[in-house]
Structure formats: structure tokens, C-alpha cells
Amino acid sequence: MEVLGIDIGGSGIKGALVNSITGEMLTKRHRIPTPEGRKPKDMARVVSEIVKHFNHKGPIGVGFPTVIKHGVCKSPGNLHKKWLGLNVEELFKEATGLPVTVVNDADAAGFATMNYGLGKDKKGLVIMITIGTGLGSGAFLDGKLIPNFELGQIPYKKYKKIELWAADSAKEREGLTYEKWGKRFNTFLKYVDLIIAPDFIILGGGASKDFDEYKHCITIDTPVMPAKLKNQAGIIGAAAAAVQ
């Protein structure tokens, strides 16, 4: 089945057509910058523009960068406060006139990795961490999703949440080298390892493609590997979620 996968991020909203059986991207990725203010109506308009770009008439899967429960936003995260309590699925359905499934963005990336990538057939507790504007996380036990595992929300020192200190956006904002940022990210992984003791950690998002630059900073015993799908995982996984 041909599904439109859309990955919503703090800086960009990306989409592509995906074969939901094989996980193959059928088109090049189309990206539109996330509107300033990150308000619901503005972002819904961009989603509609992506649908029109592909002239798509079928199901849509959307990876959304915060907690989603039964289609409803439970935390605004790095977005505008108007998202809180909003039914995101209904908003995007109205904007596009098409069936829409919305899941947490890290859960979407996890769907891709567990169905088509490095996590396929892996047993035990597998954690998918997406490194971008924030630190998203998806949890899978014996291949089954445990939704809304938002580990980036852990408080850390003076920071309300550790992702403000250890996400890729912090690296860019503060002009950190991969060496300095890698040590911060390793601190985050130490907390993940201590709190939930996963069997395997898979990294996705933009910074996953540069894994060789900071892998020497990672000191936890749990195996940590970049996703083969890298920053395409959000789009592919959103499409997979739409048919699951």
C-alpha cells in the first residue's frame, strides 16, 4: 500500500510516499520549514501543502514531536501551548480531507526500525532515541510498542528537562563540538540505562548520521547503534503506523 509518511520536527516538516509493505521510500523527501510560533493552524496548513505536493489521496501517517494519546496531544513539548489537549488527528483530517494516524515521532521512528531496519526480530527491551530539536524515545518489548516513553523529559540540574541540555539543538545553539556534546549525550544515556536497563539502544534523527563523530564518548555497557534508516525513519515509521 502507498502511504504518505510525514515527520513533524521543531525546525522542519518532511514527507514522502512510502511502500508500507517493504518500507521503501517511493519519492524524494519534501521538506517545508516549521512555521514560526509552531501553532496548530499554521502547522496543519503545512501538512496540507505536503499532501498537495504529492497529490496524495490515501492514508497519511504523522510522527508528532510530543506525547500523543488516542490522537490527542498531552504535552506541548517544544511546540506552542495551544497544542495541549488538542485532537491532532482531527485537526489534520480536517486540513487534508483524508484519513490520518498520528503517533509520537520517536514511536514512529521506532516502528520503522523495528519493522524494516536494525531492530527487526530483536527481542527484549529495545529503546529508539531520536536526536533532534529534542530527545525523543520509543520503547519496544519483544517488538511491541510501549507508547509515549518520553525519556527526554527527565529533569536535570537546572534544566526542566534533560533534552534542553543534551539534544542536537543544544549542540547547535551553544556551538559545541561533537566531543563536548557527546559527553552530554552519554550522561543522558547513563540515566536511560540506570532507569530502564534496556537490552539495545538504537539512535535516529539528524545526529544519528554522524555517529562516528561521538561514539567514542558513549561509555554505557548496553549496545548503542545508529539506525540504518537514519533521519528517514520518522517518515517511514509514520507510514507504517498508519497501516498498523
Can you give the pLDDT at residue 106?
85
Nearest to 47, CA basis, from 28, 36, 32: 32
Q: Which residue's C-alpha cell is 527527565?
A: 154
Per the prediction, the chain carries an average pLDDT of: 93
Look up the pTM and report it: 0.80
Checking if the pLDDT of 1 tops 90, the result is no
Give the mean model confidence (pLDDT) for residues 172-191. Answer: 97
Can you give the pLDDT at residue 111?
86
Can you give the pLDDT at residue 47?
98
Residue 86, H or E segment: none
Give the mean model confidence (pLDDT) for residues 15-42. Answer: 95
- Say which residue, 228 or 211, is predicted with more confidence: 211
pLDDT band, very low/low/confident/very high, at 196 (cuts 50, 70, 90): very high
Can you give the pLDDT at residue 195?
95
Give the mean model confidence (pLDDT) for residues 24-50. Answer: 97
Which residues is 44 bridged to in the sheet? Answer: none
Can you give the pLDDT at residue 227?
86
Q: CA geometry: angle at 65 spanning 210 and 118, to 5°?
A: 45
Checking if the pLDDT of 244 tops 80, the result is no
CB 99 within 8 A of CB 59: yes
Give the mean model confidence (pLDDT) for residues 77-86. Answer: 93
What percentage of residues in the chain have a pLDDT greater than 90?
74
Q: DSSP assignment, residue 200?
A: E
Checking if the pLDDT of 230 tops 70, the result is no
Can you give the pLDDT at residue 52?
98
Can you give the pLDDT at residue 92?
98
Q: DSSP assignment, residue 129?
A: E
Which residues is 4 bridged to in the sheet? Answer: 17, 60
Can you give the pLDDT at residue 41?
97
Checking if the pLDDT of 229 tops 80, the result is no
For residue range 96-146, list pLDDT tens digits in order: 999 999 999 888 888 888 888 888 889 999 999 989 889 989 899 999 989
* Separation of alpha carbons 70 and 44, rounded Å: 18
